[in-house]
């Protein structure tokens, strides 16, 4: 080391650091590039739907009134699930969804913060009072899935979950009003 | 040998730092914003048949919806199970209630069944002493609007207007709960204590205490169950289970009650009648 | 040490007392939620414990440790007395009062809202006021750190600030910036709700303000470990710091990139749009850069040390390192945990992958591994390293110290790796009681038990840690303190102002915060979210 000029030595060290930093930059660019690529080609987005709704009068509203909760197939064939997360249950407690079709799930809370995920799927969202949480997904695997509340909402949080029944096409038969509930098993 | 910059001219070393740091940092942030607020929404919107402006507004959160999917609509008319809403205005009405006016109304209307101090004369009528003011308010309001029905209470409640309801609620809420016949916790069946404290994960039943214990942070209209008439509690649970009583918002009690066995209903009623909190 | 020993020790003992208390609570919690504890503990007790555990570990242990360590660095690296020592003591007592208020509120069951407070769930006002006092005490510390560095620069014009102090002041500045969110949320939303002055809370705004603090705070905890990586570990290994410049750059990158990414905690929240979340993902990717740079620089520094000790060949230097020294051992173990935990962090920042793991046990595993693991083990190593100077005593034998570090490492892996696994399968968070009769959940049972085993090892390690420090107070007298801070391979003669101060970086940071947080927060002021009624948990 003693015969190398200190500044040249420092430059060499910085050179190695810059080479490593370049590698780090490539790695970072790859991670970000993947996110951009999937956003542009597959429309991969975080669940985002900034829609305000008053939690205090949620039960008075048409969309989230008790009788309107559950799965509805509209005239154009689109499937929408509306559910409430409240202390300490989901309403409805069982949700029927079709397999391999686009489903839009809409949740809201009349009281405190909740959250939910559906096991084995990419459905994962917080349910914040004051907002409608909306997730778009396709259920590719059949069967009964677990939909627990995954955010602390009070002392009954541990017992708060719903079931999601993924029905194959031949079993997914909505009534004349477009509504469908879970099959009794 | 290279020249070292004299110590008195630091700006010569600093200028490139200021320039490059600003470019690097601002460049990162602005590229992210350009991609996230413009490029990605526009491309996604094209796939969903949305114009660029709508897609960008959705991505920014200015209007509801995703820039990549159509937004569902709903035109269902409202059909609420209870008209009571807990807004700051309603809570103000409750907070400003006049207890003396409430006492006067109670002596006029309620005392025959519910007693002047809130201790009822018959197992058919619930005790109201020390009951939550919000709970009393809600039930009277629901009787008034027909969300809950009772041959006697419907007519009585319809004759009361909102401030009086608040007064009556405040009066009874302020009445002290009396001490029950002492029963020790050891006498309560273990299964019931577990249901109250831990709920039943197998049946999705949260602990009763998670809402009905004071300070649990549950729904505002949650009634106090301690020292309540056992027959009254049991009957209400059975009415919830059958769906005949349906003024619990979002079917909280209907869902829970329909999962309880008849034995559990009676045991819970006895547990709370004994005064456990 | 210019009479700052008692000040430092006071802070450290409060921190480690909170740590031990929290470790015991954590182990109890793991037992209660495992198949073994199906009928033990009510939800009220469980969530009280979770709140106490979180507050102790995240607010008390960390803040007090960092304050004590900061005072130590200010005195030893700058080699001058601490300015404003009466203020430092006043801050200590204020902070301790805050801790007492908060803990009393929690243990009396009037604040079971968890350390992340979930408005509209609202506890007793004393809980929040206690935490505000702790934060205010830490702000006094921040000011003292800035004053100490400014005073040294005045007396040493043109010379580079010692790297340890540079990192400490970067940390102090970051803390000042990042606590803004928490302070505004508590002072303007939560405390008024707790006092009954308002009946509703704008929950979207509250979550956003809290998220402002949420990432900066974890780097506030992390930077002291990095200060040890850069300045103490190379010296303990017997080598030199590979590059002083990279050390400075690392602290600067932490300062500017950890602050504006807090919204990545809200990637699954409905109150923000895609654009905001995408920008967060981009900036979060950049916050991984300083860690990756550090890994190279410190590994290179260790290689120098290893080769100076005679290591030959491509990897021979690794075996030649003095692993028997706690600081060296801890650094190595920390790097392993940093690698695993860092990978988890990359998964979290990609919102597509985040959707699989948000609010599952994966998240719990991630932060226990990276904070409890890599940062925690460095806190132990720092304590072991500086305790002799603080007490004037020497460690008798280093074996119990190494044993404690190994136990912490293995306990952490055994506890957190199964959590990662069950989290991927969907096990969700903050559950007092699982329904182990359900077949899916029953499958998780064995893994939960393995984690519990890891937790017990951690508890024993925590007890051993406190014991190791405690007996040092009665150890043999310190004869000669080993030099503490590493020299760089090329000690800088002078550095540009950008690497010797924070003027430029504060300006850039303000610009970033306005660009990144401006709209997400302004949207709540332009169109307030409908308020949610307060639910009092008291």
A125 touches A115 (CB < 8 A) = yes
Q: What is the mean pLDDT of residues C398-413?
A: 96
Instruction: Say whether residue C294 is in contact with chain A using an 8 A CB cutoff.
Output: no
Query: Which residues in chain A are closer than 8 Å to B77, comparing Cβ atoms?
Result: 62
* Structural tokens at position C505: 């970086």
Instruction: Check residue C360 and report its DSSP letter.
Output: B
- Give yes or no for residue C478 having a pLDDT over 80: yes
Q: pLDDT, tens digit, for every residue of B95-115?
A: 999 999 999 999 999 999 999
Residues B194 and B265 in one domain: yes
A-B C-beta contacts closer than 8 Å: 148
Catalytic site residue C72?
Answer: no
* CA distance to B116, B179, B223, C154, per residue, from B174 (Å): 12, 15, 14, 67
Cβ of B62 within 8 Å of Cβ of A50? The answer is yes
Instruction: Check residue B62 and report its DSSP letter.
Output: S
Point out the residue among B75, B80, B199 whose CB comes nearest to the CB of A156.
B199
pLDDT of the residue at C321: 93
- On the CB side of B237, how many CA atoms lie within 13 Å of its CA? 24
Instruction: Say whether residue C523 is in contact with chain B using an 8 A CB cutoff.
Output: yes
Residues B192 and B146 in one domain: no
Instruction: Say whether residue C154 is in contact with chain B using an 8 A CB cutoff.
Output: no
Alpha helices (runs of H) in B229-273, residue ranges in sequence order: 230-242, 252-257, 262-273
- Give yes or no for residue C365 having a pLDDT over 90: yes
Residues B190 and B157 in one domain: no
**What is the rounded distance in angstroms from the CA atom of residue B78 to the CA atom of residue C277?**
34
What is the rounded radius of gyration, in angstroms, for the C-alpha atoms of chain C? 23
pLDDT confidence tier of residue A4, bands split at 50, 70 and 90: low
Catalytic site residue C16?
Answer: no
* Structural tokens at position C56: 């102790």
Query: Which residues in chain B are closer than 8 Å to A40, comparing Cβ atoms?
Result: 39-40, 43-44
Which residues touch A4 (CB under 8 Å, ≥6 apart)? A12
Q: Pick the residue of C116, C206, C270 with the most A CBs within 10 A to test the interface with A by mutation.
A: C270
Query: Which residues in chain C are closer than 8 Å to B95, comparing Cβ atoms?
Result: none
Cis peptide before A92 (omega within 30 of 0): yes
Best CA proximity match to A139, nearest among A155, A153, A154, A122: A122
List all chains that touch chain C, counting a touch as 3 or more CB pairs closer than 8 Å. A, B
- In the predicted model, what is the mean pLDDT of chain A? 91
Query: Which chain B residue shows the shortest CA-CA distance from C48?
Result: B216
Cβ of B41 within 8 Å of Cβ of C274? The answer is yes
Query: Which chain A residue shows the shortest CA-CA distance from C202?
Result: A130
**What is the rounded distance in angstroms from the CA atom of residue C37 to the CA atom of residue C45?**
13
**What is the rounded distance in angstroms from the CA atom of residue B41 to the CA atom of residue B57?**
9
Task: Dump the DSSP string for B149-200.
Answer: --TTHHHHHHT--HHHHHHHHHHHHHSPPPP-----GGGS-HHHHHHHHH-B
**What is the rounded distance in angstroms from the CA atom of residue A139 to the CA atom of residue A101?**
7
Query: Which residues in chain C are closer than 8 Å to B33, comparing Cβ atoms?
Result: 275, 279, 515
pLDDT of the residue at C149: 96
Residues B111 and B164 in one domain: yes
Cβ of B72 within 8 Å of Cβ of A74? The answer is yes
Show which of residues 422-451 on chain C sit within 8 Å of chain A, judged by CB atoms: 425-426, 428-434, 438, 440
Low-confidence ranges of chain B (pLDDT < 70): 1-13, 179-187
Point out the residue among B1, B83, B219 whose CB comes nearest to the CB of A87.
B219
Dihedral class, residue C124 (left if φ above 0, else alpha if ψ from -120 to 50, else beta)? beta
pLDDT confidence tier of residue A1, bands split at 50, 70 and 90: very low
Q: pLDDT, tens digit, for every residue of C444-471?
A: 999 999 999 999 999 999 999 999 999 9
pLDDT of the residue at C1: 60
- On the CB side of B258, how many CA atoms lie within 13 Å of its CA? 13
Q: What are phi and psi of C302, to 5 degrees?
A: -70, -35
Residues B55 and B99 in one domain: no
pLDDT of the residue at B8: 46
Q: pLDDT, tens digit, for every residue of C489-532?
A: 888 888 888 899 999 999 999 999 999 999 999 999 998 899 99
What range defines the domain where residue B11 resides?
2-60
Length of chain C (residues): 538
Q: What is the ipTM of this complex?
A: 0.92
Catalytic site residue C367?
Answer: yes
pLDDT of the residue at A114: 96
pLDDT confidence tier of residue A87, bands split at 50, 70 and 90: very high
Evaluate whether residue B73 is within a structural domain.
no
Query: Which residues in chain C are closer than 8 Å to A9, comparing Cβ atoms?
Result: 489-490
Angle subtended at Cα C368 by Cα C424 and Cα C451, rounded to the nearest 5 degrees: 65
**What is the rounded distance in angstroms from the CA atom of residue C380 to the CA atom of residue C404?**
9
Tally the domains of chain B.
Answer: 3
CATH number for the domain including B121? 1.10.760.10
Residues B189 and B264 in one domain: yes
Most confident of A171-180, B8-17, B186-195, C375-384: C375-384
Query: Which chain A residue shows the shortest CA-CA distance from C292?
Result: A24
Query: Which chain B residue shows the shortest CA-CA distance from A104?
Result: B72
pLDDT of the residue at B186: 61
Q: Pick the residue of C275, C495, C529 with the most B CBs within 10 A to test the interface with B by mutation.
A: C275
Evaluate whether residue B33 is within a structural domain.
yes
Point out the residue among B4, B14, B26 whose CB comes nearest to the CB of C511.
B26
Q: Using CB atoms within 10 A of its CB, is residue C470 exposed (0-12), middle (13-18) or buried (19+)?
A: exposed
Evaluate whether residue B159 is within a structural domain.
yes
- Give yes or no for residue C480 having a pLDDT over 70: yes
Which percentage of chain C shows pLDDT scores above 90?
Answer: 79
- Give yes or no for residue C142 having a pLDDT over 50: yes
Catalytic site residue C379?
Answer: no
* CA distance to A78, A91, A180, B32, B148, per residue, from A173 (Å): 14, 21, 7, 45, 34
Helix, strand or coil for residue A52?
strand
Best CA proximity match to B227, nearest among B144, B79, B128: B128
Cβ of C426 within 8 Å of Cβ of A119? The answer is yes
**What is the rounded distance in angstroms from the CA atom of residue A162 to the CA atom of residue A166?**
13
Catalytic site residue C278?
Answer: no
C63/chain A closest Cα distance in angstroms: 25
- On the CB side of A172, how many CA atoms lie within 13 Å of its CA? 21
A142/chain B closest Cα distance in angstroms: 22
pLDDT of the residue at B208: 95
Residues B155 and B192 in one domain: no
Q: What is the mean pLDDT of residues C256-266?
A: 91
Catalytic site residue C351?
Answer: no
Residues B12 and B55 in one domain: yes
Evaluate whether residue B39 is within a structural domain.
yes
* Structural tokens at position A50: 């900034």
Query: Which residues in chain C are closer than 8 Å to B91, comparing Cβ atoms?
Result: 199, 533
pLDDT confidence tier of residue C105, bands split at 50, 70 and 90: very high
Cβ of C530 within 8 Å of Cβ of A56? The answer is yes
pLDDT of the residue at B12: 59
Query: Which chain B residue shows the shortest CA-CA distance from C124?
Result: B215
Q: pLDDT, tens digit, for every residue of C308-328?
A: 998 888 888 999 999 999 999
Instruction: Say whether residue C311 is in contact with chain B using an 8 A CB cutoff.
Output: no
Query: Which residues in chain B are closer than 8 Å to A4, comparing Cβ atoms?
Result: none
Q: pLDDT, tens digit, for every residue of C202-216?
A: 999 999 999 999 999
Length of chain A (residues): 185
- In the predicted model, what is the mean pLDDT of chain C? 93
Q: What is the mean pLDDT of residues C22-46?
A: 92
C427/chain B closest Cα distance in angstroms: 15
Evaluate whether residue B233 is within a structural domain.
yes
**What is the rounded distance in angstroms from the CA atom of residue C133 to the CA atom of residue C123?**
17
Residues B192 and B265 in one domain: yes
Query: Which residues in chain A are closer than 8 Å to B76, comparing Cβ atoms?
Result: 62-63, 65, 68
Instruction: Check residue A93 and report its DSSP letter.
Output: S
Q: C2-536: what fold?
A: Cytochrome C Oxidase; Chain A (1.20.210)
* Cα C168 to chain centroid, rounded: 14
B62/chain C closest Cα distance in angstroms: 8
B213/chain C closest Cα distance in angstroms: 10
Cβ of A153 within 8 Å of Cβ of C118? The answer is yes
Cis peptide before A97 (omega within 30 of 0): no
Evaluate whether residue B123 is within a structural domain.
yes
- Give yes or no for residue A111 having a pLDDT over 70: yes
Residues B169 and B191 in one domain: no
Query: Which chain B residue shows the shortest CA-CA distance from A85?
Result: B250
Query: Which residues in chain A are closer than 8 Å to B195, comparing Cβ atoms?
Result: none
**What is the rounded distance in angstroms from the CA atom of residue A103 to the CA atom of residue A99?**
9
Marked catalytic residue, from C21, C65, C219, C465: C219
**What is the rounded distance in angstroms from the CA atom of residue C246 to the CA atom of residue A20?**
11
């Amino acid at each position: 080391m003693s015969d190398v000029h200190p500044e040249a030595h420092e430059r060499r060290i910085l050179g190695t650091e810059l080479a490593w930093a370049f590698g780090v930059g490539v790695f970072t660019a790859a991670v970000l590039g993947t996110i951009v690529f999937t956003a542009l080609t597959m429309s991969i987005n975080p669940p985002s739907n900034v829609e305000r709704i008053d939690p205090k009068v949620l039960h008075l509203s048409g969309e989230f009134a008790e009788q309107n909760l559950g799965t509805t197939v509209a005239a154009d064939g689109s499937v929408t699930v509306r559910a409430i997360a409240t202390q300490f249950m989901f309403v409805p407690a069982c949700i029927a969804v079709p397999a391999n079709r686009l489903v839009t799930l809409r949740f809201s809370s009349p009281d405190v913060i909740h959250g939910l995920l559906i096991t084995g799927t990419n459905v994962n969202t917080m349910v914040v009072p004051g907002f409608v949480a909306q997730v778009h997904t396709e259920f590719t695997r059949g069967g009964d899935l677990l939909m627990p509340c995954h955010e602390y909402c009070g002392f009954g949080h541990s017992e708060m979950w719903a079931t999601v029944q993924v029905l194959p096409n031949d079993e997914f038969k909505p009534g004349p009003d477009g509504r469908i509930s879970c099959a009794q098993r | 040998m290279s020249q070292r910059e004299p110590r008195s001219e630091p700006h010569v070393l600093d200028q490139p730092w200021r320039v490059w740091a600003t470019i690097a940092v601002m460049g990162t942030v602005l590229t992210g914003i350009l991609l996230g607020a413009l490029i990605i929404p526009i491309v996604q919107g094209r796939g969903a048949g949305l114009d660029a402006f709508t897609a960008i507004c959705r991505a920014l959160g200015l209007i509801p919806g995703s820039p990549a999917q159509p937004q569902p609509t709903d035109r269902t008319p409202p059909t609420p199970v209870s008209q009571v809403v807990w807004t700051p205005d309603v809570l103000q009405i409750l907070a400003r209630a006049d207890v003396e006016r409430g006492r006067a109304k109670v002596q006029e209307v309620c005392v025959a069944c519910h007693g002047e101090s809130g201790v009822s004369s018959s197992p058919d009528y619930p005790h109201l002493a020390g009951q939550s003011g919000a709970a009393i308010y809600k039930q009277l309001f629901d009787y008034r609007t027909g969300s809950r029905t009772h041959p006697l209470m419907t007519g009585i409640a319809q004759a009361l207007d909102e401030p009086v309801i608040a007064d009556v609620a405040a009066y009874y809420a302020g009445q002290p709960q009396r001490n029950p016949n002492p029963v020790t916790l050891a006498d309560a069946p273990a299964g019931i204590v577990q249901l109250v404290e831990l709920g039943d994960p197998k049946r999705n039943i949260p602990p009763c205490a998670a809402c009905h214990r004071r300070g649990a942070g549950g729904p505002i209209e949650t009634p106090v169950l301690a020292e309540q008439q056992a027959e009254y509690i049991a009957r209400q649970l059975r009415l919830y289970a059958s769906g005949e009583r349906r003024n619990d918002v979002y079917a909280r009690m209907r869902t829970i009650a329909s999962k309880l066995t008849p034995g559990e209903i009676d045991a819970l009623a006895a547990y709370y009648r004994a005064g456990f909190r | 040490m210019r009479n700052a020993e008692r000040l430092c020790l006071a802070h450290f003992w409060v921190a480690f007392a909170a740590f031990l208390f929290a470790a015991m609570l954590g182990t109890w919690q793991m037992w209660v939620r495992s198949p073994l504890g199906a009928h033990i503990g009510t939800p009220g007790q469980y969530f009280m414990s979770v709140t106490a555990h979180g507050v102790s570990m995240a607010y008390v242990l960390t803040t007090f440790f960092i304050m004590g360590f900061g005072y130590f660095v200010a005195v030893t690296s700058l080699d001058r007395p601490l300015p404003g020592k009466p203020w430092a003591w006043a801050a200590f007592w204020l902070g301790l009062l805050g801790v007492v208020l908060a803990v009393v509120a929690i243990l009396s069951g009037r604040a079971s809202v968890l350390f992340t407070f979930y408005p509209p769930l609202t506890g007793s006002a004393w809980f929040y006021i206690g935490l505000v006092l702790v934060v205010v005490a830490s702000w006094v510390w921040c000011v003292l750190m800035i004053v100490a560095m400014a005073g040294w620069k005045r007396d040493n014009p043109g010379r580079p600030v010692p790297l340890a102090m540079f990192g400490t002041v970067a940390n102090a500045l970051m803390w000042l910036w990042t606590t803004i969110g928490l302070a505004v949320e508590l002072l303007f939303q939560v405390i008024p709700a707790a006092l009954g002055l308002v009946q509703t809370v704008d929950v979207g705004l509250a979550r956003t303000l809290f998220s402002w603090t949420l990432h900066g705070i974890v780097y506030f905890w992390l930077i002291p470990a990095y200060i040890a990586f850069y300045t103490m570990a190379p010296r303990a290994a017997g080598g030199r710091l590979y590059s002083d410049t990279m050390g400075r750059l690392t602290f600067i990158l932490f300062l500017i990139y950890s602050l504006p990414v807090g919204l990545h905690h809200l990637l699954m929240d409905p109150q923000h749009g895609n654009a905001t979340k995408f920008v967060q993902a981009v900036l979060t990717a950049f916050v991984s850069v300083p860690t990756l740079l550090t890994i190279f620089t410190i590994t290179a520094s260790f290689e120098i040390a290893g080769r100076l000790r005679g290591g030959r060949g491509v990897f021979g230097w690794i075996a030649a390192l003095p692993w028997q020294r706690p600081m060296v051992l801890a650094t190595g173990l920390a790097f392993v945990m940093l690698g695993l935990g860092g990978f988890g962090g990359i998964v979290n920042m990609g919102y597509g992958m985040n959707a699989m793991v948000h609010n599952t046990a994966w998240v719990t595993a991630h932060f226990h591994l990276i904070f409890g693991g890599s940062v925690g083990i460095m806190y132990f190593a720092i304590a072991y390293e500086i305790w002799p100077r603080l007490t004037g005593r020497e460690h008798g034998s280093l074996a119990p110290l190494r044993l404690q570090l190994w136990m912490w490492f293995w306990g952490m892996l055994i506890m957190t790796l199964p959590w990662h696994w069950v989290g991927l399968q969907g096990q969700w968070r903050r559950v007092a009681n699982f329904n182990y009769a359900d077949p899916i959940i029953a499958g998780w049972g064995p893994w939960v038990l393995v984690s519990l085993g890891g937790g017990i090892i951690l508890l024993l390690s925590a007890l051993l840690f406190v014991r190791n420090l405690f007996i040092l107070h009665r150890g043999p007298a310190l004869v000669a303190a080993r030099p503490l801070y590493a020299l760089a391979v090329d000690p800088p003669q002078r550095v540009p102002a950008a690497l010797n101060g924070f003027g430029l970086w504060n300006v850039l940071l303000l610009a970033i915060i306005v660009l990144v947080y401006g709209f997400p927060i302004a949207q709540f002021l332009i169109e307030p979210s409908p308020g949610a009624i307060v639910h009092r948990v008291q």
